[in-house]
Amino acid sequence: MSLSYLESLQQALHHVMKQDPNVIVLGEDIIDPYGGAFKVTKGLSTHYPQRVLATPISESAIVGISTGLAVRGFKPVAEIMFGDFMALVADQLLNSACKFALMYQDKVSVPLVVRTPMGGGRGYGPTHSQCLEKMFLGIPGLKVVCPSVFHDPGALLTHSILQEAGPVLFVEYKNLYGLTLQRPDTIRMKTSGSGFPVVIADNSDAVPDIVILSYGGLSEAVLQVMQRMTEEEIHIRLILPSLLSTTMDASIITKYINSCTKVLVTDNNTPGFGWVSETVNWLYQHSDIHNAKVHTLTAQDTVVPAAQVLEDAVLVTPQKLEQSIIEIIS
């Protein structure tokens, strides 16, 4: 049965609530019938009324309380309504949740998951469309996870809640919620690793003309380009990690990148000092692609406008991806 990105997350939350009575969900407007701004928590409060807690409009308080609950043995899942508001959470994550285990030599654990939707594409404007996950990639003790339409978002969320002993920032790109998840029988794809796997997808059995490294929200755009370019016999390999806060295993390079001399690294964050630049650095440090040209493509260094034509001018779109690919392989 085909699942959407949203349905996978919804089912995962119902599953973990049923499996573990210590799982508690906190956030703004998450009580039924509303069920959250993007409906990921819809139905939870009806089935688990004592463990789904609506909070005041204070993101700092949500994560602060959740951190305390985690220290006391609960497994809180804190929803931050928009990723833009993660700036209000930074102090609680940086100076509390992520430090306790390191400060007290793992005598304390903080099994906290902070869920939040990121990204544009919905016309929500400058304060509700940003991609801010790169601000959190350098925090010791914090895992930043971002599923794509090629991953199983529910499996990643379940693992984050039930298996991780430390804090996880779980980033959900809002443009993906309504999309059907890709399966091995719909596209050539395989996974590497467990827990937070890397997905490798190809639009052909041939040697790739270009390898694209990306994650999360851009998986939809790259998928569109891969399908369109199949007809033009342009062979694309896409590599999508789900765990952003650490480098990929070097075996990924050996198996899936070294054979290609053209590489594109892309995300929808602003340029510089983020996942794209770290990935380029990782490629040059751990691979034999020194004779290859590694290209990058990011959003513009500005705010995200509300009007679609202006938003498209700022963000990475399928059209920009296709243009970049043609220029790189020409």
Q: Containing H/E element for 52?
A: strand 52-54
Query: Any idea which residue has 């959900």 for tokens?
Result: 172
Asked whether the domain spanning 188-329 has the same topology as the one spanning 5-176, the reply is: yes
**Global pTM exceeds 0.95:** yes
Mean pLDDT estimate for the chain: 95
Query: Any idea which residue has 């994560």 for tokens?
Result: 63
Per-residue pLDDT tens digits for 91-104: 999 999 999 999 99
- Exposure string over 69-92, b if 16+ CB within 10 A, otherwise e: bbbeebbbbbbbbbbbbbeebbeb
pLDDT of residue 184: 77
Question: What is the CA 188 to chain-centroid distance, rounded?
Answer: 21
Cβ contact 242:198 at 8 Å: yes
Cβ contact 44:14 at 8 Å: yes
Per-residue pLDDT tens digits for 310-324: 999 999 999 999 999
- Active site members: 128
Domain boundaries, the chain: 5-176, 188-329
CATH code for the part of the protein at 5-176: 3.40.50.970
Question: Does the structure show a pLDDT above 70 at 110?
Answer: yes
Q: Mean pLDDT throughout 209-229? A: 96
Domain 188-329 has CATH 3.90.120.10: no
Per-residue pLDDT tens digits for 59-100: 999 999 999 999 999 999 999 999 999 999 999 999 999 999
Q: Containing H/E element for 173?
A: strand 168-173
Task: Report the distance separating Cα 43 and Cα 18, nearest Å.
Answer: 13
